[in-house]
């Protein structure tokens, strides 16, 4: 056992640090490399859409995503988040904004065919893993994205979107955000 002195806010703190178990680490990495690792929400799509960030890095602040970093972290699948600002609820154009974001994900896959693969199913994710590619999936953040149109929802599904949250932090015409519901109940 190794004892280390750590300075914390002016006072000395003595902590015990176990030496790293290299065997356990290697075993853990082996399991991690074999596993299907999925990130279900990444807002990098905003930078991809607004600034044409193409995932080749270095990642723009405050985002931390690049193909290199996804590979380093052993990521199998990424859900690119289609985040549509509540601004679009009052000003219109939420569905158009969602389409622009979907386009940025498609373009990233087109730009990096050896690293990324568009995926819409569990089978696609397994295929990507076998091909040592990152599966690119899409999820919508905020039900207002469909502009109250079930047809638009179907179209987004046809384009490959595989989840949609009912709300973001804002209420829309069909679901009520949690805080708003609480205050109307009070």
> What is the number of residues in the chain?
186
Q: Which is nearer to Zn ion, 83 or 129 (CB)?
A: 83
Of 3, 29, 33, nearest in space to 17 by CA: 3
Nearer to Zn ion, 105 or 133 (CB): 105
Which residue has the CB atom at the shortest distance from Zn ion? 43
Judged by beta carbon, residue 129 or residue 156, the one nearer Zn ion is 156
Beta carbon of residue 161, minimum distance to Zn ion (angstroms, whole number): 14
Q: Which residues contribute to the site for Zn ion (CB under 5 A)? A: 43, 81, 83, 141
Query: What is the smallest separation between the CB atom of 109 and Zn ion, expressed in angstroms?
Result: 20
Min CB(41)–Zn ion separation in Å:
6
For Zn ion, which is the closer residue by CB, 83 or 156?
Answer: 83
Query: Helix 94-111 and helix 150-158: axis angle, to 10°?
Result: 0
Q: Least distance (Å) from Zn ion to the CB of residue 141?
A: 5
Number of C-alpha atoms within 13 angstroms, CB side, residue 130?
6
Helix (H) or strand (E) holding 177: none
Q: How far is CA 178 from CA 87, 139, 147, 175, 186, in A?
A: 19, 20, 20, 9, 13
């Amino acid at each position: 056992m190794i004892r280390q002195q750590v300075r914390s806010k002016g006072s000395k703190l003595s902590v015990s640090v176990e030496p790293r178990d290299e065997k356990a680490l290697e075993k853990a990495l082996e399991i991690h490399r074999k596993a299907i690792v999925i990130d279900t929400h990444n807002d990098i799509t905003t930078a991809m859409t607004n600034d044409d960030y193409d995932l080749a890095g270095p990642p723009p602040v405050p985002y931390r995503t690049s193909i290199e970093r996804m590979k380093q972290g052993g990521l199998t699948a990424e859900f690119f988040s289609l985040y549509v600002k509540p601004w679009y609820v009052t000003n219109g154009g939420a569905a158009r904004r969602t389409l622009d974001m979907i386009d940025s994900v498609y373009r990233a896959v087109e730009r990096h065919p050896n690293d990324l693969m568009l995926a819409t199913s569990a089978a696609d994710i397994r295929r990507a893993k076998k091909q040592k590619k990152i599966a690119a999936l899409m999820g919508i953040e905020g039900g207002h994205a469909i502009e109250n149109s079930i047809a638009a929802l179907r179209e987004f599904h046809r384009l490959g979107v595989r989840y949609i949250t009912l709300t973001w932090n804002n209420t829309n015409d069909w679901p009520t955000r949690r805080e708003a519901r609480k205050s109307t109940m009070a």
